[in-house]
Amino acid sequence: MARYSAFLGRRVEVHYRAGDILLPASGTFVADSGRSIFLEQHLTQHGQVKNFRWEIPYQYIVRLEEKKELPYAPGSSVAQPASQGTNRAAAAAAADRSKAAESQGASSPPAKSSSEGAAILPVGQPPKTA
């Protein structure tokens, strides 16, 4: 019997095991074979339509939940979120501030570490290659 057939045709996010790690996958729930589920995702990248399809066996599924909102505007590529205009301006301002701090020799305060997660460290410019 199909365990997840109630999700057919809906946007879902699935967290599944792949070895020792937990991976997320999101897309449209298109099929349930009784042993595996199938997700499908369509996106446009560089003017070409790309289709991805996942088969995830039942025994690897950790969590499956329906997603109401789309993380990106329909028809846009994955690299362009729906709120790109405001985020781009904020990112440019942050980059300008970090370049100014580097040129003045100012150092940022050390990142606080906690037992809840990893410390956030500033990322420098990549080395230039010839």
79: in domain? no
Q: Which residues contact 47 (CB under 8 A, 6 or more apart)?
A: none
Q: What is the mean pLDDT of residues 29-47?
A: 93
Examine residue 10 and state whether it is found in any structural domain, yes or no. yes
In the chain, the percentage of residues whose pLDDT exceeds 70 is 54
Please report, for the domain that includes residue 45, its CATH number: 2.30.30
Question: What tokens were used for 2?
Answer: 């199909």
Instruction: Convert the pLDDT of each residue in 102-126 to its tens digit.
Output: 555 544 444 444 445 455 656 677 6
Q: Which residues of 11-37 are buried (b: 16+ CB within 10 A; e: fewer)?
A: bbebbbeeeeeeeebbbbbeebeeebb
Asked whether residue 73 is domain-assigned, the answer is no
pTM: 0.52
Domain count, the chain: 1
Give 68's DSSP letter: -
pLDDT of residue 87: 52
| Overall size of the chain counted in residues | 130
Q: Are 67 and 34 in contact (CB under 8 A)?
A: no
Phi, psi dihedral angles at 40 (to 5 degrees): -135, 140
- Distance from C-alpha of 48 to C-alpha of 87, rounded to nearest angstrom: 25
Q: According to the model, what pLDDT value does residue 84 have?
A: 46
Domain span at residue 47 reads: 5-66
